Amino acid sequence: MLLVKQDLLVALAAGLEQLSPGAGDKAAFESPKVAAHGDLACTAAMQLAKPLKKNPRQVAEALRESLLATPAFGRWVEAVDIAGPGFLNIKLKPAAKQQVVREVLAAAAGFGRQPANGQRMMVEFISANPTGPLHVGHGRQGALGDAISSLYATQGWDVTREFYYNDAGVQIATLGTSVQLRAKGFKPGDAEWPEAAYNGDYIQDIADDFLAGKTVKADDRAFTASGDVNDLDGMRLFAVAYLRHEQDLDLQAFGVRFDNYYLESSLYTSGKVDEVVQRLRDAGKTYEQDGALWLQTTGYGDDKDRVMRKGDGSYTYFVPDVAYHITKWERGFTKVLNIQGTDHHGTIARVRAGLQAAGVGIPQGYPDYVLNTMVRVTRGGQEVKLSKRAGSYVTLRDLIEWTSKDAVRFFLLSRKADTEYVFDVDLALARNNENPVYYVQYAHARICSVLAAWGGQVDTLPGAELSSLEHPAALNLMLQLARYPEVLTAAAEDFAPHDITFYLRELAAAYHSYYDSERILVDDENLKRARLALVAAVAQVLHNGLAVLGVDAPQKM
């Protein structure tokens, strides 16, 4: 149906061009708000009425007559009706809808994907400092970052996933001190235990392994413990490697991979922070006041100027952020997306202002941001707030162990990132239609069961004669299949993987409705192969969409 729609779009562009030279560029179809009105809609007549100084219905009538005279509309369109002030509602012939089955089966995993566009994109997400286990908020960022990366890959982008973290600073120093106190036998609640120390049981685990002289390895580092309780520096380095390894295990369980890890400390050791500060000073964008160095961010839309260097000589946290994003630009990433918690909202204006003030050619609005809210977890009707392992929050690993990787991913992607989400553990475990991931996965498994019962070769189905697929449930199912490429494109543009979860639920519902309407394994061979081709196409699109979300498409359930 992609080719069908393209044929019709060319005809529409030509018809608009006849009515008003230059209008052909605006040719577009929409989905009717009411399915009974047709399969495609066009509002061009209302848009052209004013410049043509005509009544919209008159323009619509002329456009309708022109379109019906074209070979493309004659071949694929059953009727074109005019509604309201000048809407064109287009009803397709069954043959037009049937084309999508062949397109899906021919493209297989490539259905909906666009060719490479030669552009590079970086998605930075999670970026958790190695001071404790990943919490469910990190899980939401992980699901969002991975799915948005996959979405952009379907649109032809060369996508890099990056994890940025601080391996130095106050929090890391506190981590080292916390481990040393545990190694010396102190624990939370003791008089010697600082209020700022980390309290989770994992701190004791790190201390025990350090005293045992163990070696820990993470994706980006390794360290062997000295076993000396007075070796605070070694304890700190060991703790960072230990927790990076723990994060790696969490990410592996969640099915998230990163192409690169970037250390905040490297921005200082490489001189990039000093370099960007000097660049801003040379550009005349800074000034001294009250013993601090300020950046004139108000000149770039910020509500007030921001301190870059405090009176004690240390830099505020947005300065290395500016240096870091300049490295992203210099590494060739024309599009950059940061996925962070809503508490980072205040950094957006100042980072963008710093990038503009630096004058390195970075366009306005760089980088893009998706800000996510935290996640509440309920179990047995009660909110779960604490984890013994973490000491103060539910960890990502807890959630995966209580449910599954697939449930956690699908659930955390099922709402817009900036809306609060309550993760219901009991619902995630339910094996019924109320559980959205089960509902979608069951549709895929149900089709696989039908294909297995048939026992034939699926790769022979593209040649099936499809003209018998005229039942309303079958036609609706084919229209749902045809929406998939456009849903992918729109979801990528809006950073909205939740649109894919909604689409998959709609496609699964359309399949379940079709399954209840027509028997697939009938005696008539041609009819059977046509219906098998249709459901095999549905299974392929369900598989493709779930893959974008990082969710498995099981063959049995």
Contact 553, 546 (CB under 8 A): yes
Residue 81 CA, chain-centre distance (Å), reads: 38
Name the pTM for this structure: 0.92
109 inside domain = no
Least confidently predicted of 166-175, 194-203, 379-388: 379-388
- Who's near 382: CB < 8 A, 6+ residues apart? none
For residue 25, the model assigns a pLDDT of: 86
* pLDDT tens-digit map of 496-505: 999 999 999 9
For residue 410, the model assigns a pLDDT of: 98
* pLDDT tens-digit map of 367-394: 999 999 989 999 999 999 866 556 678 8
Contact 431, 445 (CB under 8 A): no
Tokens describing residue 152: 């952009």
450 inside domain = yes
- Calculate ∠ Cα 161-165-169, nearest 5°: 170
CA distance 11 to 109: 30
CA distances from 95 to 82, 104, 478 (A): 23, 15, 11
φ, ψ of residue 165 to 5 degrees: the values are: -150, 160
For residue 59, the model assigns a pLDDT of: 92
Residues 22, 24, 28, 29, CA torsion sign: positive
Q: What type of residue is 49? A: A
140 inside domain = no
418 inside domain = no
- Domain residues for the domain of 534 are 433-549
Q: Does residue 426 have a pLDDT over 90?
A: yes
Residue 149, H or E segment: helix 136-154
Give the pLDDT band of residue 166 (cuts 50, 70, 90). confident
CATH number at residue 11: 3.30.1360.70
Across 508-521, average pLDDT: 96
CA distances from 25 to 22, 133, 455 (A): 6, 53, 49
For residue 387, the model assigns a pLDDT of: 61
* pLDDT tens-digit map of 32-57: 878 788 899 999 998 898 888 899 99
* pLDDT tens-digit map of 477-487: 999 999 999 99
Residue 372, H or E segment: strand 368-372
Question: By CB neighbour count within 10 A (0-12 exposed, 13-18 middle, 19+ buried), where does 277 fall?
Answer: buried
Give the pLDDT band of residue 26 (cuts 50, 70, 90). confident
The dihedral over CA atoms of 483, 485, 491, 497, expressed in degrees to the nearest 10, equals: 90
For residue 226, the model assigns a pLDDT of: 97
Residue 386 CA, chain-centre distance (Å), reads: 28
Contact 112, 544 (CB under 8 A): yes
Tokens describing residue 483: 């929406």
In three state form, how does the secondary structure of 471-488 look?
Answer: CHHHHHHHHHHHHHHHHH
From 92, 127, 159, the end of a domain falls on 92
From 52, 70, 92, the end of a domain falls on 92
Where do runs of H (alpha helix) occur along 343-435? 347-358, 396-402, 405-412, 425-429
- Who's near 187: CB < 8 A, 6+ residues apart? 193, 204
322 inside domain = no
Total tally of structural domains belonging to the chain: 2
445 inside domain = yes
CA distance 25 to 301: 35
For residue 389, the model assigns a pLDDT of: 59
From 39, 64, 92, the end of a domain falls on 92
CA distance 218 to 221: 5
Percent of the chain with pLDDT over 70: 99
* pLDDT tens-digit map of 308-341: 999 999 898 889 999 999 999 999 999 999 999 9
448 inside domain = yes
Across 202-211, average pLDDT: 97
Residue 65, H or E segment: helix 56-68
Tokens describing residue 244: 């990076």
Strands 335-341 and 368-372: parallel
CA distance 11 to 29: 12
CATH number at residue 495: 1.10.730.10
99 inside domain = no
Task: Report the chain's mean pLDDT, rounded to a whole number.
Answer: 94
